[in-house]
Structure 1
Amino acid sequence: MASAHDRAVLQAIFNPTTPFGDIPGLNQEEELIDDDSGFDRELLKQVKELEMRGVSAAETGDLQTALQLFSQAIQILPQRASAYNNRAQALRLKGDTAGALGDLDQAIALSGSTGRTACQALVQRGLLHRLARQNDEARADFEKAAALGSEFARQQAVVLNPYAALCNKMLSEVINKMRNPETSDMQ
């Protein structure tokens, strides 16, 4: 008898474009967290407050205020990745793709390519690369984010990998022929 995880893996193979979030049991990883233990508690509290206010400002459409708040957070703790990631989103919304990419690169570098912020930054950078039709760069970022647990990134990596989708389709056809030899002879 196949386990739930086995069935989820087979579902992913036979339906490579299915959103992985719709496949129960495939990814049961722990939620990523960022390691903020190396920062002064008071400064960290101040920076998190600035970031929350920045996110709120961006959500109401006040991108200039959001950018100022994220920049203040960066000035206080320039080695913390989260504010760069948030500022990149505000820059992207403002239309400054080059600035957004610079901040995403910084967020990824500071995070050591691990944790929640790295995962989010890799997905955002992958999307920007995809919009610029830089599919190889986008696929690389999505694959890294998928390795960190992002279901969306995993789906995008499959979509951008035509060989994987073709191989999965061929494997599905072979197994279907093995299961139903009568119907495959009729075609």
Structure 2
Amino acid sequence: MCTPRDSAVLHAIFNPNAPFGDICEGEDNDAREEADLDSRFPADLLEAALALEQSGVKAAESGDVRTAVQKFTEAIAILPDRPSAYNNRAQALRLEGDETGALQDLNHAVELSRGAGIAGRQALVQRGLILRLKGNDEAARSDFQRAAQLGSGFARQQLVLLNPYAALCNRMLRDMVMKLQEPDIQEC
């Protein structure tokens, strides 16, 4: 059995684009945390909002983005203080090409979630991606750092992509370890 530090080193070697020490964690805590946050809403309203969100996701997956936006908007009308539907609608708005509307929804999701939990992490990552596409790398970096602190491995990868020196160091470390494992045999 290896130590957490050993796992981190091995992960860095075989995943050179991931920051050192980035080990994927389970999602059990995420599900519990989200359930705890959702417990503040009346059960009947939460159930209705969740059903609308699921319907919106199915519509988006089938290519009917307009219906998806409508379903997410209905879910927001039922529970306007729940950030998840804002995240989902932002994704659908991005698919429609409405980056301004998507950013507004993501800003609202970050505000409602206080930048915490699954919804906060997802909103920060999505907003970071849009900001990066718009060329605002500093604001994107800030969102990715906050999301990474909340456990987003994807945000950590984005931070590495924004810092090519970290990826280079990880690749050099991997190459060095590979050479140690399979040394070149010099013939005399």
Question: What is the TM-score when the length of structure 1 is the normalising length?
Answer: 0.79
> Where does 1:15-164 land on structure 2 (aligned, <5 Å)?
17-19=16-18, 26-28=23-25, 30-33=28-31, 34=34, 35-164=37-166
Distance across 1 between alignment mates of 2:7 and 2:156: 14
Q: Secondary structure at the match of 1:32?
A: helix
Distance across 1 between alignment mates of 2:52 and 2:61: 14
Q: Secondary structure at the match of 1:113?
A: coil
Distance across 1 between alignment mates of 2:156 and 2:129: 13
Paired residues of 1:17 and 1:159 also in contact (CA < 8 A):
no
Paired residues of 2:114 and 2:120 also in contact (CA < 8 A):
yes
Query: For 1:63-112, what per-residue CA distance to the aligned partner results, in whole angstroms no more than 9, with x for missing partners?
Result: 11111111111111100001100000000000000100110111111112
Paired residues of 2:128 and 2:139 also in contact (CA < 8 A):
yes
Distance across 2 between alignment mates of 1:52 and 1:129: 27
Question: Which amino acid in the other structure matches residue 89 of structure 2?
Answer: R
Could you say if the C-alpha distance between residues 17 and 126 of structure 1 is closer, same or farther in structure 2, counting changes exceeding 3 Å?
A: farther
Tell which deviates more after alignment, 148-157 or 87-96: 148-157
Displacement of 1:26:
2.4
Distance across 2 between alignment mates of 1:54 and 1:78: 16
Question: What is the TM-score when the length of structure 2 is the normalising length?
Answer: 0.79
Displacement of 1:150:
1.3
Displacement of 1:163:
5.0
Displacement of 1:11:
4.0
Tell which deviates more after alignment, 128-137 or 73-82: 128-137
Query: For 1:135-171, what per-residue CA distance to the aligned partner results, in whole angstroms no more than 9, with x for missing partners?
Result: 111111111111111111111111212454466678x
Question: Which amino acid in the other structure matches residue 51 of structure 1?
Answer: E
Q: Percent identity?
A: 48
Could you say if the C-alpha distance between residues 141 and 54 of structure 1 is closer, same or farther in structure 2, counting changes exceeding 3 Å?
A: same
Question: Which amino acid in the other structure matches residue 4 of structure 2?
Answer: H
2:6 alignment partner in structure 1: 7
Paired residues of 1:111 and 1:118 also in contact (CA < 8 A):
yes
Q: Secondary structure at the match of 2:38?
A: coil
Gaps of 5+ in 1: none
Question: Which amino acid in the other structure matches residue 32 of structure 1?
Answer: D
Gaps of 5+ in 2: none
Query: For 1:17-56, what per-residue CA distance to the aligned partner results, in whole angstroms no more than 9, with x for missing partners?
Result: 4347xx8x82435542321011010001000011111111
